[in-house]
Amino acid sequence: MLLASEKYLQISSGFIAWRAGAALVRLSEAERKFEEVAVRTDEPVVIVGAGHAGFQLAASLRQSGYEERIALINNEPHLPYQRPPLSKGFLEGNGDPQAVFFRPESFFRDYRIDLVEDHVVEIDRMTRKTSFQSTRSLNYRHLVMATGARNRLLRMPNAGHDDVRYLRSLADSEAIRERLENAKQVVVIGAGFVGLEFAATAAAKGIAVDIVELAPRIMARVVSPVVSGYFQARHEGAGCCIHSARSVSAIETANGRLQCVILDDGRKLPADLLIVGIGVVPNVELAMAAGLPSQDGIVVDQHLATVDPNISAIGDCALFSSHRYKSPLRLQSVSNAVDQAKCLAARLTGKIRPFDSLPWFWSDQGNDKLQIAGLIDSYEDIVVRGDPDQNSFSVFCYGDGILRGVESVNRVGDHMAARRLLAACTTVDPDKAANLSFDLKTAL
Ligand SMILES: Cc1cc2nc3c(=O)[nH]c(=O)nc-3n(C[C@H](O)[C@H](O)[C@H](O)COP(=O)(O)OP(=O)(O)OC[C@H]3O[C@@H](n4cnc5c(N)ncnc54)[C@H](O)[C@@H]3O)c2cc1C
């Protein structure tokens, strides 16, 4: 789960204000003509992207009683699948893709969801038409951008070598899984969730793992120092070597194979496989080309609508106007994709409510389950409940005396209680939070 950068938050808040204040009077000539195009009722809801958000929207529309046509555009050569296992169980398991598919093919038939294998290359808002790579096209009644995000690329000589890999898609995970069969020494660049999950999986297979992180501590942007410290010790205990506050200055190859990674202090880390996990960028280009405001995400309001009332955006690609946090946010998590899809399905079936779900997230690293409720980004005080030495604790983060977020390690009960507390905007006294005999549920 990552937040849009401060810079983008500032730029985007201008867009949201502009939309709220003056959208109607600023309709361009093109938009005026577009307003006059009649909607043909037999045209489908077209969902661009069959990831977590897109799949959930199609399923939720049917669950909400939507009877008309739904076209789910899938640009990957598999049935729609979930990504979380790709850096965890799928790498360890037997590699059967069926294990990650949301549903079998029959589900899409039974629920009349047209799964269109293609890539959308253009949106014509005037005629409400999506054009595909295959040269086919499809008119839409309502268009939903669920285009997700793609990996940020490492830019240096040899970064495109075959032994340098990224982990985002099922194809990526399958290729890495195959390479892990013979790998002896792996280097991971980036100690974020995906990089660390992969590192734990590789280390459990007995492979030597070096992790290089630019920030002074692991998962620095998204967890507290207590949680960083705990996971650092756990990964080191599992055999990983973590190089914090270091960057990679070169990648060396010889005889067609990766040889080593050179750090900015000159140290050489031997490697036969390099995994790059340095963040993602949202897929906004299609929306931008159609004239929809987008910076670090496609700009949507509290109802997940773009400036075009016939187009919405959800999931990793959406920069939404958050009432809860009083600023535009872009979140990258399954819970965000699923909650936004359900909220949009409700709007499209007439049950309009603003999107205001509490963000939450999980990451499984080795035998540890990390769960986060709320955002760990603006706090001054923390309180620890439980004992990191016993591998079971929660960190309560307070800002201005109010509970902002809770991180739980192997304490599912705390996480569930924290989600209810934060969702209800209820705080809990720090002394009580720290006291293990205090039942968090009674704070509600
Ligand atoms: C390895 C990995 C592990 C993760 N683990 C966790 C976890 O443990 N917990 C958690 O909460 N989150 C996790 N996440 C994040 C989570 O998977 C994402 O937040 C979620 O998938 C977002 O869903 P989405 O539908 O918005 O985007 P995506 O799942 O990325 O789907 C977008 C789809 O749209 C397609 N697309 C893009 N452009 C077009 C186009 N023009 N035409 C047609 N299709 C298009 C893309 O190819 C993609 O298939 C993980 C992610 C990865 C990669």
Report pLDDT digits (tens) over 264-297. 999 999 999 999 999 999 999 999 999 999 989 9
265-to-53, 130, 269 alpha-carbon distances in Å: 42, 50, 11
The finding on whether 83 has its CB within 6 A of some atom of ligand 1 is yes
Distance CA 85, CA 39 (A): 40
Domain boundaries, the chain: 45-151+281-349, 164-278, 367-442
The finding on whether 143 has its CB within 6 A of some atom of ligand 1 is no
pLDDT reported for residue 1: 31
The finding on whether 53 has its CB within 6 A of some atom of ligand 1 is yes
pLDDT at 251 over 50: yes
Measured in residues, the chain has a length of 444
Distance CA 367, CA 432 (A): 28
Report pLDDT digits (tens) over 140-176. 999 999 999 999 999 999 999 999 999 999 999 999 9
Mean pLDDT of 418-434: 95
Identify whether the C-beta of residue 124 lies closer than 8 Å to the C-beta of residue 131. Answer: yes
Q: What sign has the CA pseudo-torsion 243, 249, 251, 252? A: negative
Distance CA 128, CA 246 (A): 49
Tokens in use for 242?
A: 């973590």
Report the separation in Å between the CA atom of 415 and the middle of ligand 1, taken as the mean of its atom positions: 24
The finding on whether 404 has its CB within 6 A of some atom of ligand 1 is no
Which protein residue's CA is at the shortest distance from atom 4 of ligand 1? 84
pLDDT reported for residue 53: 98
Contacts of 10 (CB under 8 A, 6+ apart): none
Tokens in use for 351?
A: 């049950």
The finding on whether 73 has its CB within 6 A of some atom of ligand 1 is yes
Q: HEC string of 166-227? A: ECCCHHHHHHHHHHHCCCCEEEEECCCHHHHHHHHHHHHCCCEEEEECCCCCCCCCCCCHHH
pLDDT reported for residue 31: 43
Which protein residue's CA is at the shortest distance from atom 18 of ligand 1? 333
Identify whether the C-beta of residue 321 lies closer than 8 Å to the C-beta of residue 300. Answer: yes
The H or E element spanning position 103 is none
Which protein residue's CA is at the shortest distance from atom 45 of ligand 1? 49
Band of pLDDT at residue 40, cut at 50, 70 and 90:
low
Report the separation in Å between the CA atom of 313 and the middle of ligand 1, taken as the mean of its atom positions: 14
Atom of ligand 1 nearest to the CA of 49: 34
The finding on whether 47 has its CB within 6 A of some atom of ligand 1 is no
The finding on whether 333 has its CB within 6 A of some atom of ligand 1 is yes
The finding on whether 316 has its CB within 6 A of some atom of ligand 1 is yes
Identify whether the C-beta of residue 196 lies closer than 8 Å to the C-beta of residue 363. Answer: yes
Q: Same fold for the domain at 45-151+281-349 and the one at 367-442?
A: no
In CATH, what is the architecture of 367-442?
Answer: 2-Layer Sandwich (3.30)
In CATH, what is the architecture of 164-278?
Answer: 3-Layer(bba) Sandwich (3.50)
Report the separation in Å between the CA atom of 205 and the middle of ligand 1, taken as the mean of its atom positions: 26
Distance CA 227, CA 396 (A): 11
Report pLDDT digits (tens) over 124-135. 999 999 999 999
pLDDT at 42 over 90: no
Band of pLDDT at residue 375, cut at 50, 70 and 90:
very high
pLDDT at 3 over 50: no
* High-pLDDT (> 90) share of the chain, %: 85
pTM over 0.85: yes
CATH fold of the domain at 45-151+281-349: FAD/NAD(P)-binding domain (3.50.50)
Which of the two residues, 315 and 379, has the higher pLDDT score?
315
Distance CA 272, CA 181 (A): 12
Which protein residue's CA is at the shortest distance from atom 26 of ligand 1? 315
